[in-house]
Chains A and B, each alone.
Chain A
Amino acid sequence: MVIYDNVTIQYGKVVALNEASFSIQDGEFVYIVGPNGSGKTTLVKGLVGLIKPAIGTIYNDEEFVGYLPQKLKTDFGFPITVREIIYSGFKNQGLIIGEGATQIIKKWLDYMEISHVLNEQMSVLSIGQQQRVYLIRALVSNPKLVILDEPTSALDPAFREKFMSFLELYHKERNATIIYVTHDVENLMRPNSKIMYVDRKIKYFGSSSKYLENYNGGNGHV
């Protein structure tokens, strides 16, 4: 379970998120939407412990979280392979990547349709391929809480659909909690999900169907 209790997050004197209070129950699928600069990523960073609130308390009882950041690291020439990036998402990591771990990584790469990049240096991959690798890193240890910040922004439409179907299956089979930041709410919305509309404050948090009934073309909220 995730709880935001009257949380205000500031960057210096600028308030990025004001007096946010909500709770997300285990097994819920929550979309976080809102305009650019509205505080969505700030909210997510607060959840994963990267930002401390100026006021209020953030509570998360899941010790192991799968997280895909919005800004993906793409250092050209950095000596790290796809295998090593994905391995950094494992719960237990050793000095040497064993055969068992490599097999798991290969299976995920197959599923993500990029099996040929296992030993490639990360920086030679296209942005779309890199995003798939980071998605694998977020999910490879089967976390019960998955937080994805714009996970499909660099994926082609066909693969995006495939990934969304997979995520839905992952959500159902593991009763996982999914928190999903997106701009593309109309196309990606899944049934029985919830929506949180953020614009420096939590302006709406409830069922997606109610949200869509009042949705005004992506520019506003209920």
Chain B
Amino acid sequence: MFDFLQYEYIQYALLIGVALGVSAAFLSPYLIFTQQALIADGLAHVSFTGITIGILVGNQPLYFAIPFAIIATILIKYLSQIKNINGDAAIGVVSSVALAAGLIIISQSAGFNRSIEGMLVGSILTTTKTDLYVAYIVAALVIGFVIFFYRPLLSLTYDYEYAKFSKVKTNFLSYGIAVLTSLFVVIGVNTIGTLLISSLIIFPALIASQFGKNFTSILSIGSIVSLFTIISGIIIAHFLGMPAGSTIVIIYAVLLIIAMGSKKLIRR
């Protein structure tokens, strides 16, 4: 029954799934409850271009895509905080310009040898060792950051103005979460795909908040839900020959419906 686990590509897929799942669950509430759910979507478009240029420049697209996504994240934050552009509009401006640039670069490059469709839907089964190392470094950074700054991050997420009054380092923390999100998204685009990576950020906190009363429970329930969904998604996708990213999103959606339904039943 567990014969499939002997394949290295499945082992890698499951391992990167665990790293992505926990990272996403730890980032999720800080983005969902500050109405920044779509930042992951925007950064995915940016990462698409970063990876495209990375492929053209050398063998390790992540090395180019990561700084590219970080710069874009800082630009989005700068536009929305310093220049008073609405947050969604800032994400839209930066991500659409980056995506447009990426598509132009691809159209003008004779040597681009990777399928665009493959980049849009991702391929978790082609995870490399480098992807794994980077994913675990990112997961460690995300978990460490969230635990170390738990109280100030909670304060910032709940009430930005009061956090500022309390001398919470609001800029450092919000840029920190944004940069970690961009790192997560770059890894995710490579594996889950540009189109679906934001779902990994959106669903954990949404599902967990149907049951959790506080942030600790949102983080723990979100992590369990995330791990269950990603691991079962990869396995189901493998056996049914479906794209892993899409399978994961459908499982998330089913879990959200069940969670919302059971919350209603519990209330009765």
B165 x A50 contact (CB < 8 A): yes
Q: Is B164 an interface residue (CB 8 A)?
A: yes
A80 x B214 contact (CB < 8 A): yes
B166 x A88 contact (CB < 8 A): yes
Chain A residues within 8 Å of B29, by CB? 79
Docked pose: A87 CA to B152 CA in angstroms: 11
A79 x B217 contact (CB < 8 A): yes
Q: Is B112 an interface residue (CB 8 A)?
A: no
A75 x B213 contact (CB < 8 A): no
A79 x B151 contact (CB < 8 A): no
Which of B91-99, B120-128, B155-163, B191-199 is the contact stretch? B155-163
Docked pose: A171 CA to B33 CA in angstroms: 37
A79 x B214 contact (CB < 8 A): yes
Q: Which of A50, A69, A78 has the most CB of B within 10 A?
A: A78
Closest residue of chain B to A87, judged by CB? B151
Q: Is A38 an interface residue (CB 8 A)?
A: no
Q: Is B215 an interface residue (CB 8 A)?
A: yes
Q: Is B4 an interface residue (CB 8 A)?
A: no
Chain A residues within 8 Å of B159, by CB? 73
Docked pose: A88 CA to B154 CA in angstroms: 9
Prevailing SS type, chain B contact patch: helix
Q: A-B contact count, CB below 8 Å?
A: 55
Chain A residues within 8 Å of B217, by CB? 79
Chain A residues within 8 Å of B215, by CB? 79-80, 84
Closest residue of chain B to A89, judged by CB? B166
Docked pose: A50 CA to B168 CA in angstroms: 12
Contact string against A for B residues 215-258, beta-carbon threshold 8 Å, 1 for contact and 0 otherwise: 10110000000000000000000000000000000000000000
Chain A residues within 8 Å of B155, by CB? 88
B218 x A79 contact (CB < 8 A): yes
Which of B151, B158, B164 is close to A95, meaning CB atoms less than 8 Å apart?
B151
Q: Is B212 an interface residue (CB 8 A)?
A: yes
Q: Is A48 an interface residue (CB 8 A)?
A: yes
Docked pose: A49 CA to B151 CA in angstroms: 21
A81 x B214 contact (CB < 8 A): yes
Which of A48, A69, A73, A119 is close to B213, meaning CB atoms less than 8 Å apart?
A119
Q: Is A4 an interface residue (CB 8 A)?
A: no
Chain A residues within 8 Å of B63, by CB? none
Q: Is B133 an interface residue (CB 8 A)?
A: no
Q: Is B104 an interface residue (CB 8 A)?
A: no
- For this complex, into which size category does the number of interface residues on chain B fall? 20 to 34
Q: Is B147 an interface residue (CB 8 A)?
A: yes
Docked pose: A119 CA to B214 CA in angstroms: 9
A95 x B154 contact (CB < 8 A): no
Chain A residues within 8 Å of B23, by CB? none
B161 x A88 contact (CB < 8 A): no
- A148 to B: closest C-beta gap in Å: 13
A73 x B214 contact (CB < 8 A): no
Chain A residues within 8 Å of B165, by CB? 48-50, 65, 67, 69
B154 x A80 contact (CB < 8 A): yes
Closest residue of chain A to B159, judged by CB? A73
Which of B158, B161, B212 is close to A69, meaning CB atoms less than 8 Å apart?
B161
Q: Is B209 an interface residue (CB 8 A)?
A: yes
Chain B residues within 8 Å of A207, by CB? none
Chain B residues within 8 Å of A84, by CB? 154, 214-215
Q: Is A153 an interface residue (CB 8 A)?
A: no
Closest residue of chain A to B217, judged by CB? A79
Closest residue of chain A to B213, judged by CB? A121
Docked pose: A73 CA to B165 CA in angstroms: 14
In the complex, given contacts A50-B164, A75-B33, A79-B213, what are 19 additional A-B residue pairs having Cβ atoms less than 8 angstroms apart?
A: A49-B164, A67-B162, A73-B162, A78-B33, A79-B209, A79-B212, A79-B217, A81-B214, A84-B154, A84-B214, A87-B151, A88-B151, A88-B154, A88-B155, A88-B162, A93-B151, A95-B147, A95-B151, A121-B214
Name A residues whose Cβ lies closer than 8 Å to a Cβ of B. Answer: 48-50, 65, 67, 69, 73, 75, 77-81, 84-85, 87-88, 93-95, 119-121
